[in-house]
């Protein structure tokens, strides 16, 4: 009975049942209660799923420094679509592109960019390679100058940074620019493109592809090459390298960029010299080959054979004006070589008159290497 003495249940063979007087009221009450419980359960379910996603997203980002995922470094959305279009137009049959980077100072008339493009015009079988060159502009004026001279230009913006002026070696802007480039190249690899990265202060004399190794994931030029292409004691230069897109190189560039946090204040080249011996590099199974300065020379260690040299880099040189001067001298040396009779070319009678303003030994060169370089230059 209830409080009013009314019978709520009747007994039958099946047990206790609601009487007809109350069954509709209780059924309606149970329906409302069930609907409320379902709504509460749905709410907690949504909250639980959201927390699960946020937890695992946050956990996955802990493997690299936060700066790697900073919005100002994001290659997504409209920028990624534009990048794909440029790369697709410039690619070779095996999805390889040649990439250089420019700011306003290097792109200005009669500066580095003009000398760089001129080398492709007068080089041996280099004219066709310009069709595969992607110029990555770091500011608006560099982008505008590229569009006036070249078909494949990409504007790479970095919020809060102005890279238009000459970035002196090892200044804050210089470091930011170099690390920005490593991150960009990582994006190119993830899109499935191989690349030849070339600093714009490198002049091209010959098609370099025949001088690349068949088994190297990363092939990198050197400031100083000691004779063995697999010896990691060679001193690499990050301004010229050939990189194939695969899971090993993608992981390596990810690791390279992340390693900046472990070596604050160092540029990407110095960090490379640190991490090339890291166990992780061996663990991912990447094959690194170092390019002989006989073919890929520079002012640090010039090639001595004009019949075989492919590129010349204005390395071991600080200052835009010095670089431009000595690169122009180098181009003039090349023109004179091309005008020689075949027998004089073969006899190696011609030699470089550059560098003139750029020749010095880097201060961070190991003592043993400095001795080797000094002896080499005496000879």
Query: Residues 6 or more apart from 193 whose CB is under 8 A from it?
Result: 87, 91, 95, 96, 97, 245
If we measure between CA atoms, which residue out of 89, 156, 161, 184 comes closest to residue 146? 156
Outline where the chain has alpha helix (H): 20-60, 77-90, 104-107, 112-122, 140-149, 172-190, 247-258, 268-275, 279-283, 320-338, 342-346, 367-378
Q: What is the mean pLDDT of residues 48-58?
A: 40
Q: Which of 140, 89, 136, 84 is nearest to 113 (CA)?
A: 136
CA separation for the pair 58, 199 (Å, rounded): 37
CATH architecture of 72-296: Alpha-Beta Complex (3.90)
pLDDT tens column, 138-162: 999 999 999 999 999 999 976 545 4
For the entire predicted model, the pTM comes to 0.76
pLDDT of residue 370: 54
Hey, what's the torsion of the CAs at 70, 74, 77, 79, to 10 degrees? 140
Question: Does the pLDDT of residue 309 top 60, yes or no?
Answer: yes
- Among 350, 339, 342, 352, residue whose Cα is nearest residue 312: 352
The Cβ-side half-sphere exposure at 18, using a 13 Å CA radius, reads 8
Other beta carbons within 10 angstroms of residue 282's beta carbon come to 9
274 pLDDT more than 90: yes
pLDDT of residue 41: 53
Q: Which residues pair with 134 in a beta bridge?
A: 99
214 pLDDT above the threshold of 70:
yes
Q: Give the C-alpha separation, 133 to 128, whole Å.
A: 10
Residue 119, class by beta-carbon neighbours within 10 Å (0-12 exposed, 13-18 middle, 19+ buried)? buried
HSE-up (13 A, CA, CB side) for residue 31: 6
């Amino acid at each position: 009975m209830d409080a009013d003495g009314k019978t709520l249940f009747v007994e039958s063979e099946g047990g206790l049942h609601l009487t007809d007087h109350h069954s509709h009221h209780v059924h309606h009450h149970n329906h409302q209660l069930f609907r409320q419980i379902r709504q509460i359960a749905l709410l907690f379910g949504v909250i639980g799923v959201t927390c699960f996603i946020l937890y695992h997203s946050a956990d996955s980002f802990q493997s690299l420094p936060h700066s790697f995922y900073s919005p100002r470094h994001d290659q997504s959305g409209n920028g990624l679509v534009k990048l794909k279009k440029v790369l697709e137009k410039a690619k070779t049959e095996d999805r390889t592109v040649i990439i250089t980077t420019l700011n306003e100072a290097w792109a200005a008339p009669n500066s580095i960019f003009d000398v760089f493009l001129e080398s492709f015009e007068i080089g041996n079988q280099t004219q066709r390679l310009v069709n595969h060159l992607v110029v990555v502009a770091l500011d608006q004026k560099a982008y505008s100058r590229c569009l006036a001279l070249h078909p494949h230009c990409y504007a790479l913006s970095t919020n809060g940074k102005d890279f238009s002026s000459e970035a002196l070696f090892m200044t804050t802007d210089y470091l930011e620019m170099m690390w920005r480039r490593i991150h960009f190249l990582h994006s190119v690899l993830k899109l499935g493109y191989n690349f030849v990265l070339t600093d714009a202060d490198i002049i091209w004399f010959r098609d370099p592809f025949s001088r690349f190794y068949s088994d190297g994931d990363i092939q990198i030029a050197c400031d100083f090459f000691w004779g063995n292409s697999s010896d990691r004691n060679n001193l690499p230069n990050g301004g010229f390298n050939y990189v194939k897109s695969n899971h090993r190189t993608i992981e390596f560039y990810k690791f390279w960029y992340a390693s900046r946090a472990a070596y604050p204040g160092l540029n990407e080249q110095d960090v490379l010299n640190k991490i090339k011996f890291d166990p992780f590099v061996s663990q991912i199974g990447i094959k690194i080959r170092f390019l002989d300065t006989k073919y890929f020379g520079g002012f640090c260690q010039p090639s001595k054979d004009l019949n075989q040299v492919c590129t010349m880099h204005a390395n071991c040189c600080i200052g835009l004006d010095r670089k431009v001067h000595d690169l122009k001298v180098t181009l003039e040396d090349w023109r004179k070589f091309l005008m020689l009779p075949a027998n004089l070319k073969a006899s190696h009678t011609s030699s470089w008159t550059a560098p003139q303003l750029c020749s010095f030994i880097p201060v961070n060169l190991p003592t043993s290497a400095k001795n080797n370089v000094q002896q080499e230059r005496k000879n």
